[in-house]
Amino acid sequence: LEEGPSRPNEPISGDRIRASQRQFTVKKPIPMLCFAAMKGVILAAGKGSRLYPITHHIAKPLLPLANRPTLHYAIDRLKEMGISEVCVVVGENEPQMREALNDGSALGVAISYVRQTDPHGLAHAVGFAKDFVGEDSFCLYLGDAIYSESLAPFAEKFKSSGCANLNLVKWVEDPSRFGVANLEGERIVKLVEKPKEPESNYAMAGMYIFGPQIWSVLPTLQPSARGEYEITDAIQMMIDQGEQVVAGVYKGEWFDTGTLNSFLDTSGHLIDGKSIVADNAHVTAAVGHSVVIGDGAHVSCDSIEDSVVLPGAHVSVRGHVRHSILAGRVESSESIEDQIRWNDSTQ
Ligand code: G1P
């Protein structure tokens, strides 16, 4: 584990001609005869830099959404899939993460932790969970993803199909900022990470289920143009090797919590556009739509809407607060809009 899972300088074995360019035989699926345990791996090592300065102080996976840590939603979705053992891949946030989630017993799962030494992409992060997963299948879940619907049907589909890998995909208007999947029926035949000219509208939607076949491709993976070990490239290699790779088309809502806009969208969705003010918060303000004010927070302003005030924050603003995430001691003689703010700092 200390040395990391991938060997960046090794050449890729075999050719990597894209599936669409060559004939290949798809390996026969092996339906599972019994319902073997599936494990969960949550990737939560990122620094959350797009939510600075708040994520300098609170690990992104622990930021409260509707007053619950973001990662609790991931654990709920994994539990619905019948998963009871979860490995959280952490980074510099390890101490905070361990303290907050502990051994998972309070959440009804067994949590263990591995540390990704340096951030080199999703496929790199997954490698650290190899010992935890062993020979089992596992659900890989991006820690900042929030889904409105249960993912349990996809776990069932993975098990009954006997495929090597199932990936959640979602039809989106502009897929160019995602991994993009070309489908033939249920099969994924080609994957491209953030293509300039997408060939399909199916975006890779942040949840992947793998059998053990993934472990044989990871060591031969090369970094992408953006210098990361891409999970999409690892999956493409499995396709090239003739493994059964299928799509699980997800029709519910899918949010990621990585930016001010997406964090507030997610929060607003979870509270259905209403507002939640913790019982022990002190609020002197007209509270409008989509507001969450956390435990022990003090808020004084003319009005507040579409915002999240973290637990324990002291907010004193002359004017209104709109579309912002506030934490620490925030004092302002003018209105606050579109800010992520910790004390006086916005970066
Ligand atoms: C990652 C994956 C991408 C996927 C996306 C989903 O992108 O590389 O294939 O569509 O997550 O959120 P990243 O967020 O690392 O840019």
- The confidence score (pLDDT) of residue 66 equals 95
Rounded average pLDDT over 4-9: 39
Pocket test for ligand 1, best of 49, 116, 142, 253 (most atoms within 8 A of CB): 142
Pick the residue whose CA is nearest to atom 13 on ligand 1. 178
Q: Of the ranges 30-44, 127-141, 283-297, 309-323, which one carries the lowest mean pLDDT score?
A: 30-44
Give the residue-averaged pLDDT of 139-144: 96
With a 6 A CB cut-off, is 142 part of the ligand 1 pocket? Answer: yes
Q: Are strands 275-277 and 245-249 parallel, antiparallel or unpaired?
A: unpaired
Pocket test for ligand 1, best of 126, 194, 204, 259 (most atoms within 8 A of CB): 204
Per-residue pLDDT reduced to its tens digit, 14-47: 333 343 344 455 676 655 544 568 999 999 999 9
- Report which protein residue has its CA nearest ligand 1's atom 3: 179
pLDDT of residue 22: 44
Burial of residue 53 (number of CB atoms within 10 Å: 0-12, 13-18, 19+): middle
In ligand 1, the atom with minimum distance to the C-alpha of 231 is 8
Q: Using a pLDDT cut of 70, give the percent of the chain over it.
A: 90
Greatest alpha-carbon pair distance for the chain in Å reads 68
Say how many C-beta atoms besides its own lie within 10 A of residue 272's C-beta.
9
Residues 6+ apart with CB under 8 A from 347: 52, 53
- State if residue 206 touches ligand 1 by the CB under 6 angstroms criterion: yes
* Residue 344 banded pLDDT, cuts 50, 70, 90: confident
Please give the number of the atom of ligand 1 that sits closest to the Cα of 191.
Answer: 9
